[in-house]
Amino acid sequence: MSNRYAPSRLPAPQKRASAPSLTDPVRYPAGASASVLTKRAFLLILMTLLVPGSAQTVAGDRRLGRIALRITLTVWVLAVLAAVLLVASRSTLINLFTNSFASLVLIIGLVALAVGWALLFINTLRLIRPVLLAPKARPAVVVTLVLAMILSSGSLGYAAYLLNVSRGAISDIFSSGPAMEPSEGRYNFLMMGGDAGADRTGRRPDSLSVISVDAKTGATAIISVPRNLQNAQFSEDSPMRTIYPDGYDCGNECLINAINTEVTNEHKDLYPGVEDPGAQATMEAVSGSLGIKVQAYVLVDMDGFARLIDAMGGIRIKAGGWVPISGETIDEASGIHGMPLGWIPAGDNTLDGYHALWYGRSREFVDDYARIARQQCVQQAMLKQLDPATLLSKFEDIVKAGTKVVDSNISSSQLGSFVDLAMKAKGQQMSRLTIGPPDFDASFSTVPDFDKIHQKVDALLAPAPAAGAAEDGIRQQYPAPGPLSAAGALPGALPGTQPAPPPPSDFTPMTTTPDGEPITEEMLNQFKLNGDEQSIRNLVATNGQCAPL
């Protein structure tokens, strides 16, 4: 018989669903000690900085936290995909950044992320509840949160701003036209430097050079064309052949750099729909004269060039000889100038825009090929010094100056491919050819033999010979970057030209006279006052030597 007084069996107690205890200081900070609250505050700030949304998930609005975490995860996935794309197809990634629509979407996305991240930090401050903190801890917590917000949201906002500046510059400088195809496996770009005032009509290129890049390897060759080349040949498809079927042969005034002016002022109707007929016609003349197809041009306004160098903070060069800042021209026919306005000394120099412009422009007391050498050196110094730190710290000034300096018909859709090629070319040897000394006689530009030019250009751009193969005496390679040396001479001169000088950067600046007396500005000016220009020529003869520092 059962004992009715026996205690009845009670059901086993069930565990409640897990929930944070009311004493959990992360979600329920009230009542926690001051030291715990301070640690909690810094922990929530760190969580918001490293994993946006995690602070809200553990200490606040879980729904908001889950939304933020999903966005964070999505951004991380996209970042990983971008890194994979950078390795697998760098040009595609660059094209995404330079494409007008894609960059706009990216800018909007960055701004949205910056605002959202800032709101999460504000929400984190509410979760911290500064009133519960010890008075001494409050300023440190608030300052830390503000710094974290600047580091995160501020960086995203600044990245969006820089991308927007870049987007505007790309649309201002580059064309929206179709992409171009390589010609015989190479991209050929005409680089022109010219003066342009408020009225750009009649601009004459002061320097002309073709940058030829192998479309697969990035192997690069530079062909310098003197501005005084006569009887330039137009390419077969050029409209200018209807006016000059036998070349630009209207006399001593018909130099290749005068084509831009003539076409701009007199023959624009031959180029309907072309934004810059003068530049297009000059490009066709260079194509025909060299026997290659030049597909695009980049025109640099030399007057605005100074602003670009100033925006970079100047350039550093090693100058082989003194260079005059020429005064007013007294005799156009002979090129005689008045007293120099100043001098750029031989040796190591840091040049601002004004002095860098004159360093590349001056041709008084020397021939045109020394000036070409200095121009190339200035370009190389700019490329060498345009490092990531300079670019980021002075980005806006550089881009704003660049939009006033550079025009081009290169399609913006191909910027990624060309940047990728430039990266491949970096560190490779660079081949060079000058349509003048030392590769040709100084008088060659007056009566050029275009068959001979074509042969030299073909040899220059031919695939490099296999190891051990005999050199043809034409193709040359030099470390890049490396400027021309004195009077345009190159290391390893062609057969029949002057002996090879020392490597471009291995020269001693001419800072003293043959008697050992230091060359000074006062000395050079005194020779000028005395009419003794030959002595000046002797002392500045090496000013074509230059190397970027």
Lowest mean pLDDT among 24-33, 376-385, 392-401: 392-401
Lowest mean pLDDT among 22-31, 124-133, 192-201, 403-412: 192-201
Structure-model confidence comparison of residues 503 and 207, the more confident one: 207
Give the confidence band of 510 by pLDDT, cuts at 50, 70, 90: very high
Q: Kindly tell me if the per-residue pLDDT of 336 is higher than 70.
A: yes
Cβ(479)–Cβ(384) under 8 Å? Answer: no
Query: Cα dist. 495→72, 107, 134, 449, 500 in Å?
Result: 65, 56, 85, 18, 10
What is the enclosing helix (H) or strand (E) of 75?
Answer: helix 62-88
Structure-model confidence comparison of residues 163 and 472, the more confident one: 163
What pTM does this model have?
A: 0.65
Once rounded to an integer, what is the mean pLDDT over residues 104-108?
92
Q: How many helices (H) and strands (E) does the chain have?
A: 18, 13
The predicted structure's pLDDT at residue 468: 44
**Mean pLDDT estimate for the chain:** 79
Interatomic CA distance for residues 260 and 191, integer angstroms: 14
Q: Kindly tell me if the per-residue pLDDT of 199 is higher than 50.
A: no
Report residue 118 CA to chain centroid gap: 33
> What percentage of the chain exceeds 90 in pLDDT?
33
Once rounded to an integer, what is the mean pLDDT over residues 183-208?
70
**Could you read off the pLDDT of 437-454 as tens digits, one per residue?**
778 887 888 889 999 999
The predicted structure's pLDDT at residue 393: 63
- Widest CA span in the chain: 143
Q: Vertex 430, ends 424 and 434: CA angle to 5°?
A: 140
Give the confidence band of 78 by pLDDT, cuts at 50, 70, 90: very high
Burial class for 398, CB neighbours closer than 10 Å (0-12, 13-18, 19+): buried
Give the confidence band of 391 by pLDDT, cuts at 50, 70, 90: low
Once rounded to an integer, what is the mean pLDDT over residues 141-161?
93
> What percentage of the chain exceeds 70 in pLDDT?
77
Highest mean pLDDT out of 195-199, 341-345, 382-386: 341-345
Q: 430-434 and 220-225 as β-strands: parallel, antiparallel, unpaired? A: parallel
Q: Kindly tell me if the per-residue pLDDT of 327 is higher than 50.
A: yes
Report residue 358 CA to chain centroid gap: 21
Q: What count of residues does the chain have? A: 549
Q: Kindly tell me if the per-residue pLDDT of 43 is higher than 70.
A: yes
The predicted structure's pLDDT at residue 207: 76
Lowest mean pLDDT among 70-84, 148-162, 212-226: 212-226
Query: Cα dist. 488→149, 171, 226 in Å?
Result: 55, 37, 11
Q: Residue 428, CB half-sphere, CA atoms under 13 Å: how many? A: 17
